[in-house]
């Protein structure tokens, strides 16, 4: 029985460019392994095709996500401009007048100013000891000598605060503050005025020094003026986290609108969008309808939702990338298995030559009458052949369901399942050599099928 089944399988190998056309066709172990590899590669190819279709169907190709979001989202529409186009360093300050303080009461506005006016250098007026209450533990304050900040825009309201109030230019006011500090070195009002002066001059180091001295001499109720000045300069110098700490301290007893609006800008810059929106809401409670707070709140909400969408898209793209890497890994494995298959296969020229020889031999046998006609019986599940001779047939659906071949009357049959079925029954001594036995498939699937000749004969 083994020899007949082996013969059938070998006959199937005579297809041109077939992976079953082997360099050593009589090596049954290699033959069986080759069959297993062929079946495995077909399944792997199906998996690769399905995997590629899945990747293509789930790939996120939305390249216009940001533009569409800015155009369609309600908060983006209300904000009118993206958050990145808004000035989140918008200068804020708390006036002395809000504490019922008149600046002109602390300097002599009628005093003449020399051609070369002095500047109010707070470090020369008073040497300040280390104090945690002056926030000297913050990194931005510790590195105040190296602070730098972009120039204030000319429309910043702090530019005109002192000049408009005192009726003098800023250089004259600086000289008058200097004279005032010479006379009263413990005045928290003058130190705050000096801090305003240096903010206008865009000198962060001097702002910090004067603000710390103002804090040192201020009562608790008045500390928020110096704190907001200090926070503004730290924020503009990109120490926004330190600036947030300082403004939070001002909320204990403060002009709530200014402090919360400032804190909203700081948190927006830090990307703390929930905190930023909360602060803008508090600012709007203190001053309903304030346009800048409304615009910034909607811009923050717009940006927050955009980032959430972009993060989701990033995760999707990362997942696709991982799937592509896995696909490439499987594809490389497929190619390696193809190489293994090709290693034992005849080159195509030799396959063609063998096929020609085989066809020639079959033609000779046909001329000599060395052939037979078989018929399908039992509802086409078995093939009945009269003699124990090779069976030759062509492609066609007629052999789709054939289970076995019977030779002669009933004494000799050959299963149409995998050769491995017969190997186990007759050649158990080689079973240890086959590491991965092939999956059972119809031999006809390997041979190819047809045929009108057999249909007519039945």
Give the three-state DSSP class for 376.
strand
Which residue is associated with the tokens 């413990």?
186
| Residue 148 Cα distances to 143, 207, 208, 221, 381, angstroms | 10, 11, 12, 30, 91
Residues of CATH 1.25.40.10 domain(s) within the chain? 74-310
Beta bridge partners of 67: none
For 91, 136, 266, the CA distances from 144, given in Å and listed in that order, are 19, 10, 19
The whole-angstrom distance between residue 147's C-alpha and the CA centroid of its chain comes to 36
Comparing CA positions, the residue from 239, 169, 193 lying closest to residue 97 is: 193
Measured CA to CA in angstroms, residue 432 lies from 248, 436, 440 at distances of: 79, 10, 18
Question: 363 φ, ψ to 5°?
Answer: -65, -40
Of 36-40, 187-191, 393-397, minimum mean pLDDT range: 393-397
Cβ-Cβ contacts under 8 Å for 319 (sequence gap 6 or more): 58
Tell me, what's the pLDDT at 35?
Answer: 77
**35 C-beta neighbours (distance < 10 Å), count:** 24
pLDDT tens-digit readout, 238-263: 999 999 999 999 987 677 899 999 99
Task: Encode pLDDT of 380-390 as tens digits.
Answer: 567 777 666 66
Domain spanning 74-310: which CATH class is it, in words?
Answer: mainly alpha
| The pLDDT of residue 105 | 92
Q: What are phi and psi of 377, to 5 degrees?
A: -130, 175
More confident site: 63 or 295: 295
84's tokens: 């990145």
- Rounded to whole angstroms, what are the CA distances from 304 to 84, 263, 316? 12, 17, 19
pLDDT at 281 over 90: yes
Is the pLDDT at 121 greater than 90, yes or no?
Answer: yes
Residue 92: which of 287, 303, 300 has the closest Cα? 287
Q: Residue 209 and residue 225: Cα distance in Å, rounded?
A: 14
Model pLDDT for residues 64-108, shown as the tens digit of each residue: 888 888 899 999 999 999 998 999 998 899 999 999 999 999 998
Question: For all residues of the chain together, what is the average pLDDT?
Answer: 78
- Residues 330-367: pLDDT tens digits? 888 888 887 877 776 666 666 667 667 767 777 776 66
The mean pLDDT of 297-307, rounded to a whole number, is: 95
When pLDDT is averaged across residues 149-169 and rounded to a whole number, the result is 84
Q: Between the CA of residue 372 and those of 7, 68, 113, 368, 393, what are the distances in Å?
A: 16, 75, 129, 11, 11
Q: Mind listing the pLDDT tens digit for each residue in 170-192? A: 999 999 999 999 999 999 999 99
Q: What is the pLDDT of residue 437?
A: 40
Is 0.95 topped by the overall pTM?
no
């Amino acid at each position: 029985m083994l020899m007949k089944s082996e013969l059938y399988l070998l006959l199937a190998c005579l297809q041109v460019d077939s992976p079953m056309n082997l360099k050593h066709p009589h090596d049954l172990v290699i033959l069986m392994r080759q069959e297993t590899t062929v079946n495995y590669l077909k399944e792997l190819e199906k998996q690769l095709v399905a995997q590629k279709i899945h990747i293509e169907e789930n790939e996120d190709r939305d390249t216009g996500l940001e533009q569409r979001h800015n155009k369609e989202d309600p908060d983006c529409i209300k904000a009118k401009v993206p958050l990145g186009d808004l000035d989140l360093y918008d200068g804020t300050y708390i006036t002395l007048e809000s504490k019922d303080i008149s600046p002109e009461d602390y300097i002599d506005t009628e005093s003449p100013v020399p051609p070369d006016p002095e500047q109010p250098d707070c470090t020369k007026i008073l040497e300040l000891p280390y104090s945690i209450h002056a926030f000297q533990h913050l990194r931005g304050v510790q590195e105040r000598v190296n602070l730098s900040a972009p120039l204030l825009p000319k429309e910043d309201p702090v530019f005109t605060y002192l000049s408009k109030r005192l009726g003098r230019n800023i250089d004259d006011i600086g000289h008058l503050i200097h004279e005032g500090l010479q006379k009263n070195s413990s005045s928290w009002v003058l130190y705050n005025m000096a801090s305003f002066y240096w903010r206008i001059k865009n000198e962060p180091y001097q702002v910090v020094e004067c603000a710390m001295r103002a804090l040192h001499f201020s009562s608790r109720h008045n500390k928020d003026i110096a704190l907001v000045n200090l926070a503004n300069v730290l924020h503009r110098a990109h120490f926004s986290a330190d600036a947030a700490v300082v403004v939070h301290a001002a909320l204990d007893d403060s002009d709530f609108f200014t402090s919360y609006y400032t804190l909203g800008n700081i948190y927006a810059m830090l990307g703390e969008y929930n905190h930023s929106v909360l602060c803008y809401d508090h600012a709007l409670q203190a001053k309903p309808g304030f346009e800048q707070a409304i615009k910034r709140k909607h811009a923050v909400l717009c940006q927050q939702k955009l980032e959430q969408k972009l993060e989701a898209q990033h995760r999707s793209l990362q997942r696709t990338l991982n799937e592509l890497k896995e696909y490439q890994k499987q594809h490389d494995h497929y190619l390696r298995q193809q190489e293994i298959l090709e290693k034992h296969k005849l080159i195509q020229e030799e396959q063609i030559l063998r096929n020609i020889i085989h066809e020639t031999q079959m033609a000779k046998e046909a001329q000599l009458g060395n052939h037979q006609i078989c018929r399908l019986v039992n509802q086409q599940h078995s093939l009945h052949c009269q003699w124990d001779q090779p069976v030759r047939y062509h492609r066609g659906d007629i052999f789709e369901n054939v289970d076995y071949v019977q030779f002669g009357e009933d004494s000799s049959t050959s299963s149409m399942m995998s050769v491995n079925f017969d190997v186990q029954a007759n050649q158990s001594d080689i079973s240890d050599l086959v590491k991965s036995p092939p999956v059972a498939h119809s031999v006809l699937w390997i041979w190819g099928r047809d045929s009108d000749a057999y249909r007519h004969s039945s």
